[in-house]
Structure 1
Amino acid sequence: MPRVSTMPRQLAFLPFVGSRAVAEGLLTKAMLRGPSWHRLLPDVYVHVDGYRENDHRMWCDAAALVLPPGAAIGGLSAAYLWGVDLLPRTGPVSVVLPEAVRLRPRPQLTVTRSTLSAQDVTTFAGLPVTTPVRTAFDLGRRPPRTSAVVAIDALFNRRLVKPAALSGYFVDRAGWPGVALLREVLSLAEPESESPMETRLRLVLVDADLPAPTPQYDVYDAQGRFLGRVDLAYPRWRIALEYEGDHHRDRQHFRRDVARLNALRAAGWIVLRFTADDVLRNPTQITRLASQAIRERTLTGTRRSVTGTSAR
Structure 2
Amino acid sequence: MRDALAKGISAGALRSQDLAAPFQGVRCVTAPRDAVAWCHAYATKMRPDAAFCGPSAARLWGMPLPASVPGDVVHVSSPHSGPRPTGRGVRGYQHDPDNVDIWDLGPLRVFSPIQTWLSLGRMLDLPDLVAAADFALTPSFGSSEPALATLAELHHAVARHRILRGPLLRLAASFAVPGPLSRPESHCRVLLVSAGCPMPVPNLRISPLATLDLAWEPARYGLDYLGDQHRSPTQFAKDVARRELIKDLDWESLEITKTDLYEHPHHVALKVRSRLSERGVAVRPVHPSKFVLPKP
Same fold (TM over 0.5): yes
Q: Is the 8 A contact 2:65 2:128 kept in 1?
A: no
Is 1:147 matched up with 2:128?
Answer: yes
Instruction: Please state how far the C-alpha of 1:234 moved relative to its aligned partner.
Output: 1.5
In the alignment, what sits opposite 2:199?
A: 212
Of the three residues 94, 103, 111, the one matched with 1:130 is 111
Other-structure match for 2:263: 281
Kept after mapping to 2: 8 A contact 1:77/1:87? no
Match of 1:29 in 2: 11
Identity %: 29
- What's 1:198 paired with? 185
Deviation at 1:87, TM superposition (A): 5.8
C-alpha distance in 1 between matches for 2:82 and 2:259: 43
- Contact 2:64-2:132 within 8 A present in 1 as well: no
Could you tell me how far apart the structure 1 residues matched to 2:191 and 2:148 are? 26
- Is structure 2 residue 233 aligned with structure 1 residue 237? no
Q: Please list, as runs of the form range in 1=range in 2, the aligned pairs for 1:106-125 lying within 5 A after superposition.
A: 106-117=87-98, 120-125=101-106
* Equivalent AA in structure 1 for residue 2 of structure 2: S
Q: CA deviation at 1:85?
A: 4.1
Corresponding residue pairs, total: 272
Q: 2:224, 2:95 → 1: CA distance?
A: 40
Q: Which residue of structure 2 lines up, in the alignment, with residue 46 of structure 1?
A: 28
Contact 1:80-1:87 within 8 A present in 2 as well: no
Q: How does 1:83-94 map to 2 (within 5 A)?
A: 83-86=62-65, 88=67, 90-91=70-71, 92-94=73-75
Q: One-letter code of the match for 1:163?
A: L
Indicate whether 1:67 and 2:46 are aligned. Answer: yes
1:268 corresponds to: 250
Greater strand share, 1 or 2?
1
How far is the alpha carbon of 1:142 from its aligned partner? 5.1
- Would the aligned equivalents of 1:64 and 1:73 in 2 still touch at CA under 8 Å? no
SS of the aligned residue for 2:246 comes to: helix
Q: Which amino acid aligns with 1:215?
A: P
Structure 2 unaligned regions, length at least 5: 140-146, 282-296
- Name the CA distance, whole Å, in 1 between partners of 2:259 and 2:94: 36
CA distance in 2, matches of 1:183, 1:277: 29
Does residue 165 of the first structure (1) align with residue 144 of the second (2)? no
Distance 2:5 2:106 in 1: 25
Alignment-mate amino acid for residue 86 of structure 1: L
Q: 1:74, 1:135 within 8 Å by CA — same for their partners in 2?
A: yes
Distance in 2 between residues matched to 1:230 and 1:45, nearest whole Å? 48
CA separation of 1:153 and 1:46: change in aligned 2, threshold 3 A? same
Indicate the structure (1 or 2) with the bigger Cα radius of gyration. 1
- CA-CA distance at 1:165 after TM superposition: 1.9
How many Å separate the matches in 2 of 1:280 and 1:99? Answer: 40
**Does 2:176 correspond to 1:189?**
yes
Tell me the C-alpha RMSD between the 2 structures: 2.2
Does the 8 Å contact 2:130/2:175 carry over to 1? yes
Change in 2 beyond 3 A, CA 1:292/1:157: same
* Structure 1 Cα separation of the partners of residues 263 and 94 of structure 2: 34
Mean alpha-carbon deviation: is it higher for 131-140 or for 236-245? Answer: 131-140
* SS of the residue 2:280 aligns to: helix
Residues 118 and 233 from structure 1, CA distance in 2 versus in 1: closer, same or farther, beyond 3 angstroms? Answer: closer
Shift in Å, 1:177: 2.0
Task: Tell me by how many angstroms 1:75 deviates.
Answer: 1.7
Kept after mapping to 2: 8 A contact 1:137/1:166: no
Q: What is the CA–CA distance in structure 2 between the aligned matches of 1:274 and 1:139, rounded to whole Å?
A: 28
Deviation, structure 1 residue 274: 1.0
SS of the equivalent of 2:20 reads strand
Deviation by residue 1:284-309 (Cα, 9 ceiling, x = unmatched) = 1111211222233339xxxxxxxxxx
